[in-house]
């Protein structure tokens, strides 16, 4: 991505009250997050292969934070309870399926917990994305989430909607549908409640 595009992206998010920071590596993002969040905070985690890659949850727990990550649950009931607690955590950290240079954050969700927390609840939200998630427009962000993120995420999670075989969205109503909620964040009331941490590496779907 060229320098002018990144400047445009930053400008377009900043005018929508969303902060943007750039990092060279995932490890540097992790170190920054572990220094940034005050120690007595509660931290919710929205599922993200990027965050899993850097073992963020276990590092937060080791440092003494109270962490709500459904991946720590032993069954579905406990998982739902953890997802609810994460909705009112002080901080929420997750990834995103696509961000656009024109200033939008686009996600699809199976149950809706992640997009809910991004929208409202936690005081601060950090969204970590690899450079492969950047597209130019909202339209292309939606195309990306439906045709790239959904099939790959469905496969990872063991679901089998039609896009897994077809590698494209056919707007299914399958019981295996993984994109029940489509969320577009176009701005924030509270300045810098959401921070986008963009990493100069390819990561996640």
Q: Which residues bind ligand SF4 (CB under 6 A)?
A: 146, 150, 161-163, 169-172, 174, 177-179
The span from the CA of 107 to the CA of 96, in Å, is: 6
CB nearer to ligand SF4: give 87 or 172: 172
- Minimum distance from CB of 204 to ligand SF4 (Å)? 16
- Minimum distance from CB of 154 to ligand SF4 (Å)? 6
The span from the CA of 153 to the CA of 204, in Å, is: 9
CB nearer to ligand SF4: give 111 or 188: 111
- Minimum distance from CB of 135 to ligand SF4 (Å)? 16
CB nearer to ligand SF4: give 85 or 155: 155
Using only C-alpha atoms, the chain has a radius of gyration, in whole angstroms, of: 16
The span from the CA of 134 to the CA of 121, in Å, is: 26
- Minimum distance from CB of 142 to ligand SF4 (Å)? 11
Asked if 49 and 203 count as a contact pair (C-beta separation under 8 A), the reply is yes
CB nearer to ligand SF4: give 49 or 174: 174
- Minimum distance from CB of 164 to ligand SF4 (Å)? 7
CB nearer to ligand SF4: give 122 or 151: 151
């Amino acid at each position: 991505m060229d320098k002018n595009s990144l400047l445009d992206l930053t400008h377009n998010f900043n005018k929508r009250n969303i902060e943007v920071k750039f990092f060279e590596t995932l490890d540097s993002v992790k170190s920054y997050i572990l220094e940034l969040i005050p120690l007595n905070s509660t931290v919710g985690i929205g599922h993200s292969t990027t965050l899993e890659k850097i073992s963020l949850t276990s590092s937060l727990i080791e440092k003494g934070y109270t962490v709500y990550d459904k991946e720590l649950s032993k069954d579905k009931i406990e998982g739902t309870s953890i997802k609810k607690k994460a909705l009112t955590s002080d901080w929420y950290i997750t990834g995103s399926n696509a961000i656009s240079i024109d200033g939008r954050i686009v996600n699809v969700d199976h149950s809706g917990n992640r997009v809910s927390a991004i929208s409202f609840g936690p005081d601060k939200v950090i969204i970590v994305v690899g450079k492969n998630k950047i597209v130019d427009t909202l339209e292309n962000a939606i195309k990306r989430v439906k045709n790239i993120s959904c099939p790959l995420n469905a496969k990872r999670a063991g679901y089998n909607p039609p896009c897994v075989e077809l590698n494209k969205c056919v707007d299914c109503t399958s019981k295996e549908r993984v994109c029940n909620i489509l969320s577009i964040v176009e701005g924030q009331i509270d300045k810098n409640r959401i921070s986008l941490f963009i990493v100069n590496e390819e990561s996640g779907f």
